[in-house]
Amino acid sequence: MSLKPLNSLKESLSNRVIVELKGGREFRGTLDGYDVHMNLVLRQAEEFMNGELVKRTEVTIVRGDNVIYISP
C-alpha cells in the first residue's frame, strides 16, 4: 500500500474513480491522467450534483484545488 497521494493516483490510472468536489459536485469516470497539483483527466465521466446525474462527457478535466477526495 502506498503512503503518498500521487502513488495512489498512479495505481488508479485506467480504473474507475469517484471524485468528490467542493459544492456538492461529484464525478465518476476512468482516471486517464493527473499532475502534481492533482488536476485530473477523466474519460467517460458522469457528473453528479447532490446525488443527481447532471451530464455525461467523453473527457473531463477536474481542477485539483476543488477536490475533496478521490476514491477507487
Beta strands in the chain (DSSP E): 16-21, 25-34, 40-49, 52-62, 67-71
pLDDT band with cut points at 50, 70 and 90 for residue 2: low
Mean pLDDT of 36-43: 95
Contact 12, 59 (CB under 8 A): no
The H-assigned helical ranges of 1-72 are 5-12
Share of the chain above pLDDT 90, in %: 83
Ordered structural domains, the chain, with CATH: 5-71 (2.30.30.100)
pLDDT band with cut points at 50, 70 and 90 for residue 8: confident
Tens digits of residue pLDDT in 53-69: 999 999 999 999 999 99
Residue 30 CB contacts under 8 Å (≥ 6 apart), including other chains: 14, 15, 16, 17, 42, 43, 44, 45
